Chain A
């Protein structure tokens, strides 16, 4: 029996459970023993010119080795944004704020000290005199040019996707001609923090002209090429290692000035350098996710048929355009959701504000698309007085319509949306839930029941044409396999998943297969882990390479057995090659490897075409109409990610995504006051979701393979977050719908519920 599709526990667990993993701050490489510690002094003002910086007292503190300001790095080339769509000043991060600060948390001064404690003391002694400017904080005001983050540019718009012809833009109201009903709503997709529990962290050293750089990221290769550019290095003179990484969720695809500056400091001081951010630095100074305001309009007929849908977006980029400025495009790509909507119009602008930069966070543009279209469906259903599930069902793309091209030109590979909906409704006993809801309403119960359903589709390994990843498989003289992958696990379980693929191809047992990743000297290239592409692209590369090794081995075995290659088979149970029908005369992997001169190897780059995972989430809530408190009672999901390699890992990804998705609708939000001061700067004031706010989840499996990669797998890393957010928002609004409440923006805190109820009661 094949190991593929079976429940295999993780190979990587024992170390994590006993001694703990080795994260960047845990490294005890003897070469780092003399490392100095870097501390950044950050702006306390959202928008200001820097009048003066006095570092005298800080520099004089015993144990302080150096204090630096922007002018000290004038000759060092700056880091550029990943997606070069924006005016150069907006996408060029200064190493340290240079004359101007643009958000609270922006690094202004770098201190090198013998210890983090001394660095923290010295930071308190730095005096920065700011001349405050009027900050631009509100996204929509920024889009209208009310105040400018970059006065010289005359606009806050980093990119207008219509002007770049990446979206067609919106026309006038004749777009909705022929619709009986048109519903419009402004919708906020709140700013979040990815909040991996391990923050950014770097350790680095020079040996002569060679740099070794350890960094907590989602794959070392993009940091490797950026460091080469900044420091004029070659692949031979630069070595980037990603040790164990404590979560990423998109945030750690990015490379920030605070990380990339360390080699310069190490070079100047002639000693190794370390920096690990504090949680407060992570919350205010790294980067945030989401942050979109949408104007939705949906039109259709009274029988529930949706005919036209429009979404206009303002996307927040923060003070400097990092990859977040690109995200509205992904919202556009997935704007049709699971529905056959004949006409769709989209428009979007990414704008800068005096806030921390925005980057991809789990889902990256697709959660915003699903939240929008699902909200639109709910509002349309409410307007025509139809059950929200019935309206969805009426408009679903049927399963015989794939490949399906949406009105915005996105081609969905495969799908069976209605089955996922049916499975969830049946499991949750939807009709019984509605009956209970009706009973509570009739009795005027304080705790009202709400039921929310979202049906979603997203794009992974995308956008088109897809994602490429490199993989190599080596089988050594002992008959053991080593996998080299350009993908990178920071919790996903690659060591287990990829070993299963090689075990399936070669018959070699799981314990004899090792994964090498995250080291640019051992892995020559790679894309890292993002966009839920690891298994599709990285796994396919490993699987195909393993198949190629088997083909090589069969050829050698044929020579050793003096047989035709066509007659030689690999018996995976005995891990030996023999002539078909003659298993008694065989050659083991060890013998074949020896005949090959000690080892067999194959490597390949695999392009995985974009794939479209989908599913249905149903959330049941109780909302206390006296206090506004929401309790999540049930979460039922069906998430179809194509062919499943390991249900254990898939369920884990679903659980984690669901929690982060529920968190966005329930409690998590990065907030600033009107002066641009962060109101959420640590885990005490950011509503990071804990286990008391969540129930256990009820998961239903469904597998609709994709033809776009050899494994038939779609991505599962982001599905949970995409389906859960709108389902919970819908559930809370549903609990209050009999009071005349149709829409509350997320996160739907008790205060918002209470205020909404008060507003309709008066």
Chain B
């Protein structure tokens, strides 16, 4: 084990501070150190997007960053997206209504990426959704209902 370095960041509104190896990937920090296991790991080449979170409000793949690079930043994971325990975020609600998830493994990353997409492009065409979310893979849904959910959420005019 090498030397450690202290990282401090805000995840889902809670301050987190730990000593980690400098090589620790952000996704491992979130899952194994902070215990937030909603964020998943699906590949080792930055291809699948299962680990997508928000860094300062923008979607990033947390497997492609070191924890130290997130030092001092604000992070949101799937656990922090819903406005309250009783109410889903509109994107989560749209995924539910459109049956846009099956095994659920891509879902946290897909939802986070989709929310970020609508921040950038509030009224996307189907083609824009497909291009915008290309970096998030799903093996169950054939993407049909995911695209439908994102378009439905956009049509309801509630990006965030």
Contacts and interface: CB of A to CB of B under 8 A. Distances in A.
A binds B: yes
Interface of A: 9-10, 12-14, 16-23, 25-26, 28, 62-63, 117-118, 195-198, 244-247, 249, 278-280, 490-493, 648-649, 651-652, 654-660, 682-684, 688, 690-692, 694, 696-697, 720
Contact of A652 (B24, B88, B102, B136): B102
A554 to B, nearest CB: 36
Given A19-B38, A690-B134, 17 more contacts: A14-B88, A17-B78, A18-B79, A18-B92, A20-B37, A20-B108, A23-B37, A25-B37, A26-B37, A117-B24, A246-B103, A658-B142, A660-B142, A683-B43, A683-B137, A688-B47, A691-B129
B23 A117 contact: yes
B102 A683 contact: no
B96 A9 contact: yes
Interface string B122-149: 0000100111011111111111111110
Given A62-B1, A63-B1, A683 B148 contact: no
Interface string B53-75: 00000000000000000000000
A197 B142 contact: no
B5 to A, nearest CB: 15
List the 6 closest A-B pairs by CB distance, nearest first: A20-B38, A246-B105, A491-B103, A659-B142, A655-B142, A683-B47
A118 B24 CA distance: 12
Contact of A198 (B21, B42, B142): B42
A13 B101 contact: yes
A197 B40 contact: yes
A696 B141 CA distance: 11
Give the one of B41, B138, B144 with max A CB within 10 A. B144
Contact count band on B: 35 or more
28 contacts: A17-B78, A17-B107, A19-B78, A20-B39, A20-B108, A21-B103, A28-B37, A196-B103, A196-B139, A197-B50, A244-B104, A246-B40, A279-B43, A491-B102, A652-B99, A655-B145, A659-B141, A659-B142, A659-B143, A660-B139, A682-B43, A682-B44, A682-B47, A690-B137, A691-B133, A691-B143, A692-B134, A694-B143
Contact of A195 (B31, B39, B139): B139
Residue of A195, A197, A660 with most partner-chain B CB within 10 A:
A197
Interface string B87-124: 01000100111010111111110010000000000000
Given A13-B101, A692-B130, A278 B1 contact: no
Contact of B1 (A118, A195, A651, A659): A118
B13 interface: no
Interface in B1-42: 1, 21, 23-24, 31, 35, 37-42
B76 to A, nearest CB: 13
Contact of A684 (B35, B45, B106, B107): B45
B42 A197 contact: yes
B158 interface: no
B48 interface: yes
B102 A492 contact: yes
Nearest to A688: B137
B155 interface: no
B87 to A, nearest CB: 10
B73 to A, nearest CB: 21
Contacts of B134: 690-692
B88 A18 contact: yes
Interface of B: 1, 21, 23-24, 31, 35, 37-48, 50, 78-79, 81-82, 88, 92, 95-97, 99, 101-108, 111, 126, 129-131, 133-148
Contact of B45 (A20, A279, A657): A279
A28 B79 CA distance: 16
Contacts of B138: 197, 691
Contacts of A25: 37, 41
A720 B142 contact: yes
A460 to B, nearest CB: 18
Question: Interface SS of chain A: helix, strand, loop or mixed?
Answer: loop
Given A198-B103, A658-B142, A691 B147 contact: yes
Given A280-B44, A682-B45, A692-B130, A16 B143 contact: no
A28 B104 CA distance: 19
B145 A652 contact: yes
Contacts of A23: 37, 40, 105
A683 B48 contact: yes
A25 B40 CA distance: 9
Pick the most buried of B1, B105, B134: most chain A CB atoms within 10 A of its CB.
Answer: B105
A651 B45 contact: no
Contacts of A197: 40, 42, 48, 50, 103, 105-106, 137-139
A378 B82 CA distance: 52
Contacts of B104: 12, 16, 20-21, 244, 246, 491
Contacts of A683: 42-43, 45, 47-48, 137
A61 to B, nearest CB: 10
Contact of A17 (B23, B111, B144): B111
Nearest to B135: A690
Contacts of A656: 102, 139-142
Contacts of A657: 142
A596 B40 CA distance: 46
Contacts of A17: 78, 88, 92, 95-96, 101, 107, 111
Contacts of B126: 696
Given A17-B107, A20-B39, A649 B142 contact: no
A23 B50 CA distance: 13
Nearest to A248: B103
Contacts of B139: 195-197, 247, 249, 656, 660
Contacts of A18: 38, 78-79, 81-82, 88, 92
